[in-house]
Amino acid sequence: MPKFAANLSMLFTEVDFLDRFEAAAKAGFKGVEYLFPYDFEAGEIKQRLDDNGLTQVLFNLPAGDWGAGERGIACHPDRVEEFRAGVDRAIEYAKVLGNTQVNCLAGIQPEGVSDDEARKTLVDNLRFAAEKLEAAGILLIAEPINTRDIPGFFLNRTEQALAIFDEVGSQNLKLQYDIYHMQIMEGDLAPTIEKHFGRIAHVQLADNPGRHEPGTGEINYPFLFDHLDRLGYDGWIGCEYKPAGSTQEGLGWLDGVR
C-alpha cells in the first residue's frame, strides 16, 4: 500500500503554515513535504515534526525569487554561485529536519540563453549538487514539469530528464516523477513508470484537469496505486494537489488506499 505525504504548500492552507503539521497528522498523514522551509528556523519546523510524529519527506533547493515568478535557477548561467550557495543552505536544513532527499527545480529557460547553454548549466549544477549532497548523505532528485502551467520550464519530459541525468553521471541523482505533470506532457503513465522504475525515487500526484485531488479528473489512480505496488515501490507519494474545496472535505479518496 502506498505511503502518502501531505504537501503542506497546497494542503491545509486553511491554517498558517506551521499549524499545517498538526492538521496533517490529525488527518492521518505520517509524512509531509512542501516547497521550501527557508522562511522559518529549521529548529522550529523540527519541533512541529516531532510534536506530531511526522517524517520530513522532501523540500526543494532554493529556487530564486518565487514571488516574482522564478521557478528555479539551475539552468541559469548567471546564477551559478547563487545555486551553489543554495545547496549548502538546503543541506543545513535537511540535517536538522532529517529528510534524506531534496528536489532541484531546473527553472524557466532565460531569454537569450540557448538550449545548449541552459542544458550545460543544468548538467554542471546537478553534478555539483549531487556530489555535495552525497557527501552529506542526502539524495538529489529532479522533476520534469509541464510547460502549460509553467511556460518555458526547461526540464519537461521523462526521457529528456534521464538523458541529462546520464550526462551528469552521478548515482546520487534520481527522478521525481510527478504523475500530474507527466500526464499533461506525455501520458502513457504506467508503461513509463515501469520502464524507468529503477530511477524513480519519489512520486507526486494530482488529477488532471484542474490539479485537484484524485477522482476529480481523468487519471485512473486506483490502477496506478496498484501498479506501483506490483512494481514494489516503497517510497512516498507526495499529495501535491489543490483541493477542489476544503482540504478535509477532499480527503475521501484516501479511504481504502492507506
**134 three-class SS:** helix
- Classify burial at 16, counting beta carbons within 10 Å of its beta carbon; exposed 0-12, middle 13-18, buried 19 or more: exposed
Q: 74 to each of 93, 120, 125, 131, how far by Cα in Å?
A: 19, 10, 6, 15
Q: Which is catalytic among the residues 44, 134, 240, 249?
A: 240
| 143 catalytic residue (yes or no) | yes
| 159 catalytic residue (yes or no) | no
Residue 172: CB atoms within 10 A of its CB come to 20
DSSP string, 64-93: S-GGGT----TT-GGGHHHHHHHHHHHHHH
Q: Which is catalytic among the residues 143, 194, 213, 218?
A: 143
Q: How far apart are the first and last CA of the chain?
A: 6
Catalytic positions, written as ranges: 143, 240
